[in-house]
Amino acid sequence: MSEHEDQSDRLKQHFAQRVINQARQVLEVWQRLQRNAWSKQEMDELQEGNQRLLRYAERFEQPEHCQIAEGIEQCLQGVAANRNRLSSELICELNQLMQRLSRTGLRHGDQFEQTSLPPLRKPVYLALQDNERRLRLEQQLSSYGLIAQGCPDSQAFRQAMAARHPLAILMEVDFAGEKQGLLLAEEAQQGLEQRIPVLFFSEQDSDTATRLQAVRAGGLDFYCNSLDASTILERVEQFSHTAHYEPFKVLIIDDSRAQVTHTEMVLNSAGIVTRTLTEPLEALDVLADFNPELIILDMYMPGCVGTELAKVIRQHERYVSIPIIYLSAEDDLEKQLDAMSEGGDDFLTKPIKPRHLIATVRTRATRARSLQARMVRDSLTGLYNHTHTLQLLEDARLRATRDGQPLCFAMLDIDHFKKVNDSYGHPMGDRVIKSLALFLKQRLRKTDHIGRYGGEEFAVVLPDTELEAAQRVLDEIRRRFAEIHYPAQPEDLSCTFSGGIALLRPGEDAQSLSKRADEALYQAKHGGRNQIACAE
């Protein structure tokens, strides 16, 4: 390579680094916006950061970054054209673009694929003494989709910390010498406004003084004797924050067009997605389509009193837990209390200050989202439970039929699972189930719905997906899952799964679709297991 070409490559790599760094800055501003009202100052900061991202992406010839930055710019121009007011559509579009940006690094096959340019997602640093253990864990965490970077010695760890702060640190207590890992972790935390989560590991059981020192160095967990990739990933997921923020969804029902427009503007300014309705008798149809996390309801409307509509909504099991906030000019306390006793959760009196409305909606919606997660999710895996998975399948079927889009439904089952429980015990069986659940969450899209159907059986709803694409994705997951090893005696354990997929037929109901997927799974099991079969 000539000197001129070498300089050109170094220059391009420099700008590639700037694209990645600028994308991170845009995502950090976006995350701040989710925690606060969307002030003009922060919106301006987002726009400036995105414009720099677009310039760098054009200069480095990164078309995907360009496309995303242009999309964000169009959204922000839409906000400006709307007199700096956000709409639900713009919020949703911005959220989707940010999710794409968080997943985007350099293209595969790019001439700089082999360079050390960092991806957008932060890595986890592995500071472990045993090279074999470190490399195995690095490989297994990468299989889950997590970016793991091994540090063979203290110098490599310090260099990594100087280059970039990680998502988390897995630190051996005796890394680089007896108890030196504790000191190294304390050193890494010095001067940081926000402490980095640290998971400590020790070959032997440790005394209370050692564990106390680990806590003071930012230790959130302490593992002894063995390390398991799925356990570490699960723990990292619990305290990590990503750009995959889902805005709250609020349905506003009021016969006054002026009032719903005002309420919508206030909530949109805080990044809350809204749907408005001035005809209360259409509420159930909109509820089924929009799936809000909170309802704001007027007390007095022609043809329907707010408390009556609240009772109708509460008659449906799906909507029992959705908070209903009355927003009315009614100032009689007794009438307010009566209204809240008939299906309501709160009562706000018009006129209300925007800050008060936003705070109330956010607080109620946050609690509702947390409660809903407990009601519809499996306690072991965090996936949707059997009942809710079928409800999500039915919702997806209705949308696919309405929009003319393909829909696939897949059934997955861990092979020879009874043998795992009998040979290694039920705790190991639970570990394998949790491992596959994490694997599916890491590898499938946010728009896909993953459920634990029962025992070692899983179900996946894949909207807007053709049969061939569904088979390709799940087959790749099957191959990568088989590579994971679980530390055990007398030898490490590895598992596989089989799957069956069915594509929705015209006019088909959800029960028939799930039955055909189950038959395809049966076909995969009898075809030798560890394979994905498609329904005819």
Render 353-422 in DSSP notation, one character per residue.
Answer: -HHHHHHHHHHHHHHHHHHHHHHHB-TTT-SB-HHHHHHHHHHHHHHHHHHT--EEEEEEEETTHHHHHH
Closest Cα partner for 68 from 15, 34, 22, 17? Answer: 22
With b for 16 or more beta-carbon neighbours within 10 A and e for fewer, the 416-431 pattern comes to ebeebbeebeeebbeb
Residues 475 and 500: beta-carbon distance below 8 Å:
no
- Provide φ and ψ at 303, rounded to 5°: 80, -5
Does an H or E element contain 171, and which?
Answer: strand 168-172
Please tell me the predicted confidence (pLDDT) of residue 317: 79
Taking CA atoms, 88 is separated from 91, 92, 275, in Å, by: 5, 6, 8
Please tell me the predicted confidence (pLDDT) of residue 412: 95
Domain 124-239 has CATH 1.10.10.60: no
- Please report, for the chain, the start and end positions of each structural domain, with discontinuous segments joined by +: 3-103, 124-239, 249-376, 386-534
Please tell me the predicted confidence (pLDDT) of residue 16: 66
Write down the CATH number for the domain with range 386-534: 3.30.70.270
Two domains, one topology: 124-239 and 249-376: yes
Q: Do the strands 532-534 and 497-503 form a parallel or antiparallel pair, or are they unpaired?
A: parallel
Taking CA atoms, 390 is separated from 384, 452, 459, 514, 515, in Å, by: 10, 11, 9, 9, 12
Q: Do the strands 497-503 and 407-414 form a parallel or antiparallel pair, or are they unpaired?
A: antiparallel
User: Which tokens sit at 101?
Assistant: 């940006």
Give the pLDDT of the chain (536 residues) as one tens digit per residue.
455 555 555 555 556 677 877 887 888 788 777 666 666 777 888 889 899 888 888 887 788 888 999 999 998 888 777 766 677 677 778 877 887 787 664 333 333 333 333 445 678 899 998 888 888 888 777 766 677 889 999 999 999 998 888 888 999 999 988 889 999 999 998 888 778 889 999 988 878 888 898 888 888 889 887 777 767 777 776 665 443 457 889 999 888 888 888 888 888 878 788 889 888 888 888 888 888 989 998 888 887 888 888 888 888 878 888 899 888 877 778 877 877 777 778 888 888 888 899 889 988 888 888 777 777 888 788 889 998 899 899 989 988 998 899 999 999 999 999 998 888 888 888 888 988 988 888 788 878 999 999 889 999 999 999 999 999 999 999 998 888 888 777 788 889 999 999 999 999 999 999 999 999 999 999 999 999 999 87
| pTM (predicted TM-score) | 0.57
Write down the CATH number for the domain with range 249-376: 3.40.50.2300
Measured CA to CA, the distance from residue 246 to residue 388 in angstroms comes to 19
Measured CA to CA, the distance from residue 304 to residue 400 in angstroms comes to 33
Tell me what percent of the chain is helix, strand and coil, each rounded to the nearest 5: 55, 15, 30
DSSP character for 347? Answer: E
- Total Cβ atoms within 10 A of residue 32: 14
Contacts for 112 with CB less than 8 Å, ≥ 6 apart: 9, 12, 13, 16, 106
Please tell me the predicted confidence (pLDDT) of residue 144: 67
Measured CA to CA, the distance from residue 440 to residue 383 in angstroms comes to 10
